[in-house]
Structure 1
Amino acid sequence: GAPATAASAPGSAAEAPGGIAPHGVPRLNLYQLTAEELEDYVTGELEQPKFRVQQLRDWLYKFGTTNFTRMKNLPRPLRQTLASGASIGAEDWVVLAERQSKDGTLKRAYGVPGCHTIESVLMPYNDGRQTACISTQVGCAMGCVFCATGQMGFKRHLTSAEIFEQAARFSASLKRERKRLSRIVLMGMGEPLANYHNVVAAVRRIQADLGIGWRHITISTVGLVPEMRRLAAERMQVKLAVSLHAATDEERSALLPMNRRYPIAEVMDAARHYFETTGRRVTFEWALIQGQNDDVATAERLGHLLAGGAPGSHVNLIPLNPTKGYGGGPTGRDAAARFVETLARFGIEATMRVRRGIDIDAGCGQLAERAASEYKERGRDAAGAEEAGSTAAGDELSSLAEELESLDAAAGMAA
């Protein structure tokens, strides 16, 4: 796939002219607002009737428009007020790069406040599903040796709005192509449960605003035991994925330093508690590293561990993805097949995941903060790319607006 980069962000000057409100005040990013906050803004500050709130929400999340001028069932003065005082998307985000893999995987890199970059990934599947992998931190403090994010260290937490916006932007892009975002995995940069409050708040908005069901949202963790138990109490019915990668404490501590604080027995106990509390099976992630954790004896240890201590569990296997800071290599096909067969003898279901986006460093464990110059070297100037996509969908959105207008008028007459 061809790289394309330096595109303008949704809601930036390319789509809604006048990026800064009068007197130099930054515009209000509507993606930052919860449903309650959006209602307060529309009915309070803008002094609009309550039904305008749902109209605006439909444009933001049902149709994915990022241009106020296309919201034809809103009065022109209201659209002008919104365009001057609000934005759809953070205006202090810069799309540094969009790179597409040969397999269709799309990686998007954003420059975010604090002179940092984050990366998000969109994975299309042949059956029409669209899965977004989003980040929860800039960097990560967990220090997993084979993970590019862990190798860069921790920089800062992302806010709940920043986590949500990654998903909202992918959703908006897909809506304009008459597609929909079907699944979210919080497996990008960072340890989600180390940023607990912001992650839970973002996940609740993803479910409520983007309409993605709890069972189509996965939160991953290296095994932060107190937060795993706390998550069970939220009763959100999300999937939990635990990065395991080894079946003994000695081996796991060498790969995942956090195991020294929360050893395998405690992680297993918390996983069992999550399953018993929510009824949702726990997935254990296992990166197959050639000659290190991919032999039959290791598979047998894992089988004993899960069969005895983690009912309802499932294993996701993926050959290790390469990173600059780790010398291990991926397991071969035959060894991987033997690993799956061995687990099956213990009644453990295992799935061999397809490696995706490897050629653009978008695979599991490959996301990292990179220098802006690196993105510029790899990409080409594509300013206005999102505006072009939005324009291509303009006629369709206009017809939808006319339909909404007639429905609104009918509702008004009925009232």
Structure 2
Amino acid sequence: MADGFDARPNLIGMDRDDIAAALLDAGEDASKVRMRANQLFHWIYYRGARDFSEMTSISKAWRADLHERFRIGRPEVSSYQQSEDGTRKWLMRFADGHEAETVHIPEADRGALCVSSQVGCTLTCSFCHTGTQKLVRNLTVGEIVAQMLVARDTIGEWPSPRGERMISNIVMMGMGEPLLNYENVAKALKIVMDGEGISLSKRRITLSTSGVVPLIERCGRELEVNLAISLHAVNDELRDVLVPINRKHPIRELLDACRTYPAANNARRITWEYVMLDGINDSPAEARELVRLIKGIPSKVNLIPFNPWPGAPYACSKPEAIEKFAKIVNDAGYSSPVRTPRGRDIMAACGQLKSASERGRREKTGAAEIVQA
């Protein structure tokens, strides 16, 4: 059932305690609430049930009662696109009509799901397409978790696999700044990490931030997920332009927070994301300054060729400039892979996401397979 204007409480986004409280409010016997909450949690997050009728381990009478009182409301999929390279993109429409995008980037035996945390974004990073869309609102816990559920529905990955899986990693790198919606993002990730449900390890989850410094320590302490920093410049003057939150939390303050990030160690390095912009931030001198800045921090540097979008004010660095930059960072002892662009033909690559609810769907391309939900 698509998520719509329905007065019944939606169980997606609820943890066990929330489900138990909802059952109690609905008049459920207090002595049975905990057991029944566990049953529902299992069916929703481990088996991926989309309707109470699928919950065959509980009585037909209770299933009927649940249907009257609650719903398991996934968002509507406004459009689904699949790239020539296998990347998938969903445009999901929520109950109020607003939309956000989710992307799955597959590998041979695994894949990362890029999840959105907001409709639009408040940070206006000048190289990012999402940043040209004003922030509409934060996504709810249920809307964040539902992106994982819808992706699994499409891929057919229910019940939760115990071994290899095609959605093996989550990256909070979609639309929005996750740390500016921290409470909802944190609760959603705790549901995703629960061993009796979706059961994705904290080591398989990466949260990317543009530098909301006051919440970095809390994120590491409470969630212990991997941290990625959208750095993109090695001096405040340029970063103020590329990543405007730098005016509030400059590079030195950001680096200090990363040096003490609770979940970082040599086995779990902080990832520095660095988009390569022709003639802007790609000189050998800047590569050497990057090495100097991150010294002493367990680090990996992801070099990201700029992915173009309509009206973008930048161009991608030339291959030889990227190669020289990567060599300097590599020679200093830091892994610096150059990210292979994925999903460019469906505007699903890094920095290209922008919901069609704001752009009027004028950027659909004919290169992709488009399936209207």
TM-score range, shorter chain: 0.7 to 0.9
More helix by share: 1
* Number of equivalences: 357
Structure 1 residue aligned with 2:316: 330
* Residue matched to 1:386: none
Q: Percent identity?
A: 35
Q: Is the contact made by 1:138 and 1:155 (CA closer than 8 Å) also made in structure 2?
A: yes
Paired residues of 1:304 and 1:346 also in contact (CA < 8 A): no
Is the alpha carbon distance of 1:12 and 1:46 closer, same or farther for their aligned partners in structure 2, counting shifts above 3 Å? farther
TM-score normalized by the length of structure 1: 0.79
CA contact (8 A) 2:270 2:300 kept: yes
| Partners of 1:185 and 1:106 in 2: CA distance | 15
Distance 1:47 1:376, change over 3 A: farther
In structure 2, the CA distance between the partners of 1:332 and 1:212, relative to structure 1 (3 Å rule), is same
Structure 1 residues 237, 293: closer, same or farther in 2, change over 3 A? Answer: same
Consecutive unaligned residues of structure 1, counting only runs of 5 or more, are 1-10, 14-18, 384-415
Tell me, in whole angstroms, the C-alpha distance in 2 between the residues paired with 1:65 and 1:382.
Answer: 23
Distance in 2 of aligned mates of 1:32 and 1:196: 15
2:107 aligned with 1:125:
yes
Equivalent position of 1:57 in the other structure:
41
Q: Distance in 1 between matches of 2:245 and 2:372?
A: 41
Aligned to 1:106: 88
Deviation of 1:125 after TM superposition, in Å, equals 1.1
**1-structure distance, mates of 2:332, 2:364:** 50
Displacement after TM superposition at 1:332 (Å): 3.2
In the alignment, is the contact (CA less than 8 A) between 1:96 and 1:376 conserved in 2?
no
Say whether the 8 Å CA contact 2:12–2:146 is kept in structure 1.
yes
Q: Contact 1:97–1:375 at 8 Å: present in 2 too? A: no
Residue type of the alignment partner of 2:93: G
Q: Hey, what does 1:295 align to over in structure 2?
A: 283
- CA 1:376 to 1:271, structure 2 compared with 1: closer, same or farther past 3 Å? closer
1:315 and 2:312 matched:
no
Number of the residue aligned with 2:234: 247
Find 2:18's aligned residue among 37, 58, 63. 37
Residue by residue over 1:118-174, the C-alpha shift from the partner in whole angstroms, topping out at 9 and shown as x without a partner, is: 111112211x21311111111111110011111112111112222222123223443
- Deviation by residue 1:86-126 (Cα, 9 ceiling, x = unmatched): 22224xx3321011111111111122244421111112211
How many Å separate the matches in 1 of 2:362 and 2:50?
25
Alignment counterpart, residue 351 of structure 1, candidates 337, 342, 345 = 337
Q: 1:342 aligns to what? A: 328
Q: Are residues 1:140 and 2:121 paired? A: yes
Q: Distance in 1 between matches of 2:362 and 2:104?
A: 18
Task: Give the equivalent residue in structure 1 for 2:259.
Answer: 272
Which position in structure 2 is the counterpart of 1:304? 292
CA-CA distance at 1:321 after TM superposition: 0.7
Task: Give the deviation of 1:180 after TM superposition.
Answer: 5.2
Letter in 1 for 2:58: L
TM superposition shift of 1:315: 0.5
Q: Is the 8 A contact 2:82 2:370 kept in 1?
A: no
Asked whether the 8 Å contact 1:220–1:243 carries over to 2, the reply is yes
Matched, 1:282 2:270: yes
Provide the secondary structure at the position in 2 that maps to 1:32: coil
Q: Distance in 2 between matches of 1:142 and 1:305?
A: 23
Deviates more, 1:96-105 or 1:223-232: 223-232
Return closer, same or farther for 1:64/1:274 CA change in 2, 3 Å cut-off. Answer: same
Question: SS where residue 132 of structure 1 aligns?
Answer: strand
2:89 maps to 1:76: no
* 1:329 CA drift (Å): 1.7
**Counterpart-to-counterpart distance in 2, 1:181 and 1:219:** 16
Question: In 2, are the aligned partners of 1:139 and 1:152 still within 8 Å (CA)?
Answer: yes
Cα deviations across residues 339-364 of structure 1 (Å, max 9, x unaligned)?
A: 11111222222122121111111111
1:291 corresponds to which letter in structure 2?
A: G
Q: Deviations over 1:217-269 (max 9, x none)?
A: 111111111111332332x2201111011111112112111111111111111
Of the three residues 149, 152, 167, the one matched with 2:130 is 149
* Structure 2 portions without partners, runs of 5+: none
TM-score (norm 2): 0.87
1:291 to partner: Cα distance: 2.1
2:346/2:364 contact within 8 Å kept: no
Shift in alpha-carbon separation, 1:140–1:97, aligned structure 2, 3 A? same
Tell me, in whole angstroms, the C-alpha distance in 2 between the residues paired with 1:257 and 1:376: 26
User: Displacement, 1:59?
Assistant: 2.2
Aligned to 1:86: 70
Which residue in the other structure is 1:259 paired with? 246
* Aligned counterpart, 2:183: 197
**CA, structure 1 residues 31+376, in 2 after alignment: closer, same or farther (shift >3 Å)?**
farther
SS of equivalent to 2:252: helix
What SS does the corresponding residue of 2:78 show, helix, strand or coil? strand
CA distance in 1, matches of 2:299, 2:371: 46
Q: Which amino acid letter does the alignment assign opposite residue 374 of structure 1?
A: R
